[in-house]
Amino acid sequence: MQIRRARPGDAAVTGGIYVRAWQRAFADILPRSYLDYMDAGAEASAWEPLLHPTRWPVAGVLLAEADHGAVAFAAFHSADAPAVAELATLYALPEVWGTGVGRRLMTATVQAIQQGGYQSAMLWVLEANTRARRFYEAACWRWDGTTVDDVTAGITLPKLRYRCSLS
């Protein structure tokens, strides 16, 4: 497996990974009708602005590739506080969950965030997404006590803010 910076031409693959990961990860959290309606093309357009090389190292997307193609991606950018990055997303195809791809991608993403000059990082995770929370906690991310409500598919879901010191 190799991890590389994503390029503008990778938008479609990030959208596809995002949709497939959501459809599996949130199957018990969100309505099936909402998940089935998700469109990889529409999701790709959301990540496209971070794929331009001029944004690196302040923001960017890393792509994990195996022999059969892209299997995971992570995106980061500046948060609302100075010297703080936000890990906006880290998603992998369900068939590679538990294989170490996510851990390797997380390590590479944290290194890229550090190279961007950030001193700490934060992310948001659904409280109900216990699998993701265990993953982040194993990578030394910790809930800082902050919770916000997220409304998705007409359902209000609490999100937790996790933080990681990079020093």
Peptide bond connecting 57 to the previous residue in cis, omega within 30 degrees of 0:
yes
The CATH number of 2-165 is which of 3.40.50.300, 3.20.20.150, 3.30.70.580, 3.40.630.30? Answer: 3.40.630.30
Strand order in the sheet with 60-66: 2-5, 60-66, 69-78, 84-92, 120-126, 155-165, 142-152
Q: Which two tokens stand for residue 151?
A: 């409304």
pTM, two decimals, is 0.93
Q: Where are the domains of the chain?
A: 2-165
Going residue by residue through the chain, which has 167 residues, state the pLDDT in tens, using 9 for 90 and above.
Answer: 999 999 888 999 999 999 999 999 999 999 999 999 999 988 888 878 778 777 777 788 999 999 889 999 999 999 988 899 999 999 999 999 999 999 999 999 999 999 999 999 999 999 999 999 999 999 999 999 999 999 999 999 999 999 999 97
